[in-house]
Amino acid sequence: MPRAPDPSRLSRERIVETAFSLLEREGWETLSMRRLGQELDVWPMAVYRYFRDKDELVDALVEHVVQEVALPGARGAWRARLRRLLGEAVRTLEGLPPEFRARLAPALLGPASPLSTAARDALGTAGLDNSQASKAWLALAAYTAGFPELAPSESAFEDGLQTIMDGLGEAANALEPATST
């Protein structure tokens, strides 16, 4: 019968996990193929059996993070749902080095991402048609991608988000009026 794979053996998964933990612990500069080999207790070139080059490895890291983000369920009011979705995104981005954020943002918030799909769905619930929802999502996604670059405190994220959500249009506001107006 098949045995559990030898954990000392390399695999794409083990490489990605080690590389990501290295990235989180020591930053972007430290994530080199040579240092990664060291971390895996293997000679630098061994990783090249699994990834064509460093760029392909970074792509895999991006994919790993995108998969890892836990999307909140579809229950609840659409405003709260959007806030939860974008909160997940901004927390994910904020914890990572800027150089990696620039690679991650399109995969996390671009039109094809799971988070993006869930968010447009929430905007549909709010009464926006597909075209309106896409434009509103562009505003929200770009805001979320840019927020960590300007890097004030995380709490301020909610303020700007509120400002944008106030502008999502009459169709949305008619369904569920904003709290303060």
Q: State the residues that interact with DNA by CB under 7 A.
A: 9-10, 30-35, 42-46, 48-49, 53-55
Q: Where are any strands of DSSP class E within 120-178?
A: none
* Tokens 């030898």 belong to residue: 6
CB of 144 to a second copy, least distance (A): 7
- CA-CA distances (angstroms) from residue 41 to 8, 46, 162? 9, 10, 49
- Which of 120, 140, 108, 127 lies closest to 169, judged by CA? 127
CB atoms within 10 A of CB 84: 16
Report what 109 binds from DNA, a second copy, none; CB cut-off 5-8 Å by kind. a second copy
Q: Is 109 in the site for a second copy (CB under 8 A)?
A: yes
Q: Which lies closer to DNA via its Cβ, residue 43 or residue 98?
A: 43
Report what 53 binds from DNA, a second copy, none; CB cut-off 5-8 Å by kind. DNA
CB of 53 to a second copy, least distance (A): 13
Stretch that binds a second copy, among 12-20, 49-57, 71-79, 103-111 (CB under 8 A): 103-111
Judge contact between 57 and 19, C-beta under 8 A.
yes
Q: Burial of 70 by CB count in 10 Å (0-12 exposed, 13-18 middle, 19+ buried)?
A: exposed
DSSP 132: H
Q: Which of 13, 110, 130, 174 binds a second copy (CB under 8 A)?
A: 110
CB of 82 to DNA, least distance (A): 38
Binding-site string for a second copy from residue 118 to residue 147, where x marks contact by CB under 8 A and - marks none = -----------------xx-xx-xxxxxxx
CB of 127 to a second copy, least distance (A): 15
Dihedral (C-alpha) 164, 169, 175, 180: value to the nearest 10 degrees? 50
Report what 35 binds from a second copy, DNA, none; CB cut-off 5-8 Å by kind. DNA
CB of 179 to a second copy, least distance (A): 14
* Spatial distance between the Cα atoms of 23 and 132, rounded to a whole number of angstroms: 38
